[in-house]
Amino acid sequence: MSIVQPLAGHVSAETAYVIADYPSGFKARCTKRVWLERDPKKGYRLCSQTTNKTGAWCAVKKSTYTMLAVMGLDEENHVVWTGVSMYEFEKVQEFVAKYGHAFDANLASDASVCATTYKMYLAHKAKLASKEGT
């Protein structure tokens, strides 16, 4: 599934993207909210929370951190998210080209740092390769 419409600005439970009529079980319906949480040292992760039968919010479910991430809607209007992990530095430029227009200030800054770090890595790798060749 790919993101057709990026969702930006949903960074906490208070600013979450809300799905008012979300299925909960066989017949029941509830409310669900989703957002991308950022930790400056760990990265981004998707968080989601649903309501119980009384309408109170249940515990937050959190995914694993990834280096960069965006959240959006797919072709079926379902919330999906995608990201680039620290093991995929070579995909940062492609990720920025595809989703960069939807980045907030934090994500744009983080993406810039990742791209710069990758360029430094490639330069260092090339320097080592040239030393080995001589």
Task: Give the model confidence (pLDDT) of 76-130 as tens digits.
Answer: 999 999 999 988 888 988 999 999 998 999 999 999 998 888 888 888 888 888 8
d(CA 44, CA 27): 33
1: confidence class by pLDDT, cuts 50, 70, 90: low
Q: If pLDDT is split at 50, 70 and 90, which confidence band does 134 have?
A: low
Which domain does 82 fall in, by range? 5-133
Q: Which helix (H) or strand (E) holds 37?
A: strand 29-39
Reported pTM: 0.85
Helix (H, G, I), strand (E, B) or coil at 77: coil
Q: How far apart are CA 107 and CA 32, in angstroms?
A: 24
Number of domain units in the chain: 1
The answer to whether 111 and 89 have CB atoms below 8 angstroms apart is no
